[in-house]
Amino acid sequence: MIAVIQRVKKAAVSIGGMEKSAIGTGLMILLGIEEADEREDIDWICRKMVNMRIFPDEDGVMNKCLQDVEGDMLLISQFTLHASTKKGNRPSYIKAAKPDIAIPLYESCIKELSRQLGKPVKTGEFGADMQVSLINDGPVTIVIDSKNKV
């Protein structure tokens, strides 16, 4: 799993011109799921996302996590994070999980994040044509990959 984590002042996702979800201060996360992902990847990446200390403390040092600032999370599925651009100019998405594998993993990720945060995680809609807007705070953007834990 690959996650692009963005600290935001606010973020929203719309589908067909209608807002589906929105958050204020928190994390907007793009999540890419690949064929090889399993429960261990979900556990690791969720723990990292919830506990990542990227919010400023009283001294302006990034020392607080999402729960410390009582922020929200917006999770968006994004298969294009697994694009291979080694050959030619057209990205290949061969590593991205097909919906029959990706949807259950995505839903498990939502449940695990909600459990760890103690509140619901806002989402887009898997497979939909979504428009995502955000105000990146900092900007702070971090990429993590469950296949590169070491």
Q: What is the CATH number of the domain that holds 43?
A: 3.50.80.10
Instruction: With respect to residue 150, please indicate whether it lies within any of the assigned structural domains.
Output: no
Known catalytic residue at 126? no
What pLDDT shows up at residue 149?
77
Known catalytic residue at 55? no
Provide the pairing of β-strand 72-77 with 26-32: parallel
Whether 91 and 84 have beta carbons less than 8 Å apart is answered as yes
Place of tokens 């919830």: 50
Instruction: With respect to residue 15, please indicate whether it lies within any of the assigned structural domains.
Output: yes
Instruction: With respect to residue 135, please indicate whether it lies within any of the assigned structural domains.
Output: yes
- Of the residues 80, 85, 116, 123, only one is catalytic, namely 80
- Of the residues 55, 79, 116, 123, only one is catalytic, namely 79
- Of the residues 6, 78, 116, 123, only one is catalytic, namely 78
Instruction: With respect to residue 114, please indicate whether it lies within any of the assigned structural domains.
Output: yes
What pLDDT shows up at residue 69?
97
Provide the domain count of the chain: 1
pLDDT tens string for the chain (150 positions)?
999 999 999 999 999 999 999 999 999 999 999 999 999 999 999 999 999 999 999 999 999 999 999 999 999 999 989 888 888 898 889 889 999 999 999 999 999 999 999 999 999 999 999 999 999 999 999 999 999 876
The whole-model pTM stands at 0.94
Instruction: With respect to residue 79, please indicate whether it lies within any of the assigned structural domains.
Output: yes
Domain membership of residue 116 as a residue range: 2-145
Instruction: With respect to residue 8, please indicate whether it lies within any of the assigned structural domains.
Output: yes
Provide the pairing of β-strand 55-56 with 62-64: antiparallel
Known catalytic residue at 131? no
Q: Is 80 exposed, middle or buried (0-12, 13-18, 19+ CB in 10 A)?
A: exposed
Instruction: With respect to residue 86, please indicate whether it lies within any of the assigned structural domains.
Output: yes
Instruction: With respect to residue 33, please indicate whether it lies within any of the assigned structural domains.
Output: yes
